[in-house]
């Protein structure tokens, strides 16, 4: 199965279309505090011009379930990525607010830091409402986490694994070979400046992912 590729922190239609042309499966829209943050109105305008088969992921951190649900509906999101300290109860409350007949995919971020082992085990065991776990070094840091430290702690947990944090066209192939993840997520590694994508880097990133899959 091809590796799922998400290009995060989309801020304009031009970048969204360039990401899709490069081969992205999903686009991320940041609603958490960030220099790449967009409003629900901005995201809706971009999403309105996208093919229906492209996933639209909203990135949130310690927001209210009511507010997240409102943005899902207003912007037309198909998934949420939770970067804060959201609890299983929060996810259950959010799930109860899905629009009728529409189930939104839930991605939970786990930072690979000194508390990673405990936090990762808790998310695996106590969060039945999530679909994927995203490993990151920290929102917007542009740095990789310690891959060698994280690898033996992950194991087969039954959740889809997404690797993020400092990925770029030069290192994403190695990340795929080490983790064999379900998906990868990139921001700064495909930008020409914060908040704006570089079409050449987008194409190089996707090409590096596909090349790594062939090995």
* Active-site residue set: 8, 136
CA angle 169, 172, 174 (to 5 degrees): 125
Range 40-49 average pLDDT: 98
CATH of the domain at 166: 3.20.20.70
Cα separation, 95 vs 104, in Å, equals: 8
Q: What's the number of domains the chain is made of?
A: 1
Specify the pLDDT at position 150.
87
Range 2-30 average pLDDT: 98
Percent of the chain scoring above 70 in pLDDT: 95
Tell me the pLDDT tens digit for each residue of 129-181. 899 999 998 755 678 998 988 888 787 667 899 999 999 999 999 999 999 99
Specify the pLDDT at position 159.
83
Q: By residue range, what is the domain housing residue 9?
A: 4-213
pLDDT, the chain, mean: 92
Q: Of 4-18, 58-72, 107-121, give the lowest mean pLDDT range.
A: 107-121
Specify the pLDDT at position 95.
87
Q: Of 73-77, 97-101, 123-127, give the lowest mean pLDDT range.
A: 97-101
Tell me the pLDDT tens digit for each residue of 91-105. 999 988 876 667 789
């Amino acid at each position: 199965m091809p590796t799922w590729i998400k290009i995060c922190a989309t801020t304009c239609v031009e970048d969204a279309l360039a990401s899709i042309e490069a081969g992205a499966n999903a686009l991320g829209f940041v609603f958490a505090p960030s220099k790449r943050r967009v409003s629900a109105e901005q995201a809706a305008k971009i999403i309105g011009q996208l093919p229906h088969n492209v996933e639209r992921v909203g990135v949130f951190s310690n927001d209210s379930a009511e507010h997240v649900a409102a943005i899902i509906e207003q912007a037309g999101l198909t998934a949420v990525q939770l970067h804060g300290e959201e609890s299983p109860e929060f996810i259950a409350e959010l799930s109860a607010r899905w629009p009728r007949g529409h189930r939104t995919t839930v991605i939970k971020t786990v930072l690979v830091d000194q508390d990673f082992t405990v936090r990762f085990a808790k998310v695996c065991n106590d969060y039945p409402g999530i679909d994927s776990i995203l490993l990151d070094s920290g929102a917007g840091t542009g740095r990789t986490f310690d891959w060698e430290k994280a690898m033996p702690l992950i194991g087969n947990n039954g959740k889809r694994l997404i690797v993020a944090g400092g990925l770029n066209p030069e290192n994403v192939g190695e990340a795929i070979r080490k983790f064999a993840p379900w998906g990868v997520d990139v921001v700064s590694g495909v930008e020409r400046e914060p908040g704006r994508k570089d079409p050449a880097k987008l194409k190089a990133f996707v090409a590096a992912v596909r090349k790594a899959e062939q090995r």
